[in-house]
């Protein structure tokens, strides 16, 4: 595909991602709704590092953290993640990402958080008359494109669906991301989530059928990677013996209210085979038990497969995450 057609495609995609929500909802609504399914994060690697990943995302999970990072993948990747939260909620994510070589990189993602098998009783007594589910689901279409050797741009279109018994809600929103890599070891990233006034969700089959909004948020971060030693690969190429990475992010949940979260993570890879990770997330700089969430994890890369595990010590319910990235 020639460069002119590529530029047209990129402009059309970004126009939809950036402005479609505000075109359908010209009036300003109060951002009063936050979907839990979009607040968790994807990929056990990133979660083990405290969610500090906006400048480090360079695999299929970049569709969530910073779509600009999709431009850095050079193959086909399939990512899955699963967790059980509070012994009730199942959390699942799956996506496929690929580099088209000519017109950028793209990803198709699905994430679900839900409680299934809720016993439903009738008005006449405690006798079960069936089961129902309470779920939140999101489908995402993402794209990432390189802008020269140092910059990358990306966008995501999100389709939102909630189901709570007989009631349901539908909506959509968009994210935009930017990645800047001035030198090999250092990168900066920024992602604006739901930034065109919020992601709008319309409820149906309820007494009032309200329209609710997932508030805009902004995440900025930096990533620094240091190579430790060199070795000769099987192909006779000099490659790092090991690497250590430090990431730091700042996120605004409700920009108008100044509620920020701070994320810090470290990762050590030994011979690109096994990784040890740790991180923290804080709602401020008090670092007490009410504001601090610690995390840790490991990763193993065998041939085409990367297996990752994370433990996040949430105050309400500590959770373990397992994820797999397949590179083809």
Q: Where are the domains of the chain?
A: 3-116+129-327
Q: Calculate the CA 163 to chain-centre distance.
A: 22
Residue 121 has pLDDT above 60, yes or no: no
Q: Calculate the CA 55 to chain-centre distance.
A: 12
- In which residue are the tokens 């839900």 written? 114
Reported as a pLDDT band with limits 50, 70 and 90, residue 34 is low
Q: Which tokens hold the place of 253?
A: 């949940």
Q: Which tokens hold the place of 244?
A: 């250590």
The pLDDT, as a whole number, for residue 20 is: 47
Residue 321 has pLDDT above 90, yes or no: yes
Please state the pTM of the whole predicted model: 0.83
Residue spans of beta strands (DSSP E) within 165-272: 167-183, 186-193, 199-204, 211-214, 217-232, 238-254, 259-270
The pLDDT, as a whole number, for residue 19 is: 47
Residue 132 CB: number of other CB atoms within 10 A?
A: 15
User: 3-116+129-327 sits in which CATH class?
Assistant: mainly beta
Reported as a pLDDT band with limits 50, 70 and 90, residue 25 is very low
Average pLDDT rounded to a whole number, residues 136-156: 94
Residue 229 has pLDDT above 50, yes or no: yes
Q: Measured over all CA atoms, what is the biggest interatomic distance in the chain, rounded to whole angstroms?
A: 76
Q: What is the mean pLDDT of the chain?
A: 82
Average pLDDT rounded to a whole number, residues 61-85: 93
Residues ≥6 apart with Cβ < 8 Å to 256: 31, 215
Residue 132 has pLDDT above 90, yes or no: no
Residues ≥6 apart with Cβ < 8 Å to 115: 88, 89, 90, 133, 134, 135
The pLDDT, as a whole number, for residue 163 is: 83
The pLDDT, as a whole number, for residue 317 is: 82
């Amino acid at each position: 595909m020639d460069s002119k057609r590529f530029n047209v495609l990129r402009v059309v995609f970004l126009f939809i991602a950036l402005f479609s929500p505000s075109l359908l909802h010209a009036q300003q609504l109060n951002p009063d709704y936050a979907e839990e399914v979009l607040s968790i994060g994807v990929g056990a690697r990133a979660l083990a590092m405290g969610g500090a990943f906006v400048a480090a995302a360079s695999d299929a999970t970049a569709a969530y953290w910073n779509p600009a990072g999709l431009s850095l993948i050079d193959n086909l990747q399939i990512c899955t993640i699963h967790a059980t939260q509070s012994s009730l909620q199942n959390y699942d994510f799956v996506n496929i990402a690929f580099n088209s070589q000519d017109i950028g990189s793209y990803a198709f993602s699905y994430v679900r958080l839900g409680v299934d098998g809720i016993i439903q009783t009738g008005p006449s007594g405690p006798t079960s008359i069936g089961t129902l589910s309470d779920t939140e689901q999101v489908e995402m279409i993402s794209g990432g494109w390189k802008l020269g050797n140092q910059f990358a741009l990306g966008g995501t279109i999100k389709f939102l669906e909630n189901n709570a018994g007989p009631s349901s809600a539908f909506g959509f929103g968009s994210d935009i991301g930017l990645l800047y890599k001035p030198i090999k070891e250092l990168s900066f990233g920024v992602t604006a989530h739901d930034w065109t006034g919020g992601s709008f969700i319309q409820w149906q089959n309820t007494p009032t059928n309200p329209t609710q909004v997932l508030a805009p948020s902004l995440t900025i971060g930096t990533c620094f990677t240091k190579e430790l030693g060199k070795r000769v690969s099987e192909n006779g190429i000099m490659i790092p013996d090991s690497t250590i990475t430090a990431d730091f992010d700042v996120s605004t949940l409700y920009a108008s209210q100044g509620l920020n979260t701070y994320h810090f993570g470290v990762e050590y890879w030994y011979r690109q085979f096994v990784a040890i990770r740790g991180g923290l997330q804080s709602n401020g700089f008090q670092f007490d038990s009410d504001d601090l969430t610690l995390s840790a994890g490991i990763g193993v890369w065998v041939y085409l497969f990367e297996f990752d595990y994370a433990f996040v010590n949430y105050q309400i319910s500590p959770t373990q995450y397992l994820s797999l990235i397949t590179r083809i």
